[in-house]
Amino acid sequence: MTAASELKYPAMNHFASADGDLAYRETGTGDLVVLLHSGFVDHRVFDEVIPALSAAHRVIAADIRGHGASANASAPFRWADDLADLLRHLDAGPAVLVGVSMGGVVVSDMLLEHPELVRAAVVAGASTGEFQDSDPWHQEIQAETARTLAAGDIEGWLKAFLSYVAGPHRTLDDIDPAIPRRLREMALHTVAKHTPGEPDRHVRVTNTWARLPKVDVPVLTVNGALDTADVITAAQRLADTVRHGRSVVVEGAGHYLNMEKPQEFGAIVEAFLHTL
């Protein structure tokens, strides 16, 4: 079990972007690895992964705009542009980007919009921002999260949101209770930053699948075998479409494989880094 005190924010750095401060955690030295978290939470989903990676690498774990300790958007923005601005501010890159779920989409966006800043990429539990999961379970969860969030029913929203932890093949009773507890705390922190009816100012990157064949850096997709079949299939499509892609499926894990199996996830990332 993870103690509640472990969820407190460590010392964070801040980058003054054109639209508010963006927070990031930095540790270690060596080749640069950037970690990008899943939606509604923050960089702490990598708490068990960061120590091992930072032993031999410079690790930046960012809070994506509107999440964690980073500012909300007051104007249209793109995730990839925020990250590119941060890396240029730090005079850093090209970097190895590692993203989970929403963070994986940020990585895909970077491959297409700012390829000069990407040395290699790990996309976990994701493909591109134009992916649509047709799984009935996933569509029901999406509808319920949208309905409860719009209604201001935070407890109902949390229940639906945490369904992603178990996925379509399990229940939360099958999961280490520390994982949904930690995700709940992070999600509540992020949701509290926003107001009901606040517009979504994120601008999506388009024409993604058609542009992926031009991606010329190593790309690894990683998925939990207990995630939805459409997510796993789309990740394989991503790996097959770029020039230097390959895929790994982790047995006994779902969408948050970095939290369910952090040692195995970290070892997969380390092995990939050693091939570069």
Residue 194 CB coordination number (10 Å):
13
Number of structural domains (the chain) is 1
Q: Confirm whether 247 is domain-assigned.
A: yes
- % of residues, the chain, pLDDT over 70: 97
The CA-atom distances, in angstroms, between 8 and each of 48, 69, 254 are 14, 11, 25
Q: What is the pTM of this model?
A: 0.95
Q: Would the pLDDT of 5 be above 50? A: no
Q: Confirm whether 176 is domain-assigned.
A: no
Please write the tens of the pLDDT for every residue from 202-256: 999 999 999 999 999 999 999 999 999 999 999 999 999 999 999 999 999 999 9
Q: Confirm whether 84 is domain-assigned.
A: yes
Q: Would the pLDDT of 4 be above 60? A: no
Q: Confirm whether 167 is domain-assigned.
A: no
The CATH number of the domain where 70 resides is what? 3.40.50.1820
The per-residue pLDDT for 100 is 98
Domain that holds residue 83: 4-132+199-274
Q: Confirm whether 86 is domain-assigned.
A: yes
Number of H helices, E strands in the chain: 10, 8
Q: Would the pLDDT of 3 be above 60? A: no
Cβ-contact 254, 166 below 8 angstroms: yes
Mean pLDDT of 16-25: 96
Report how far residue 193's alpha carbon sits from residue 188's, in angstroms, rounded to the nearest whole number.
9
Please write the tens of the pLDDT for every residue from 23-64: 999 999 999 999 999 999 999 999 999 999 999 999 999 999
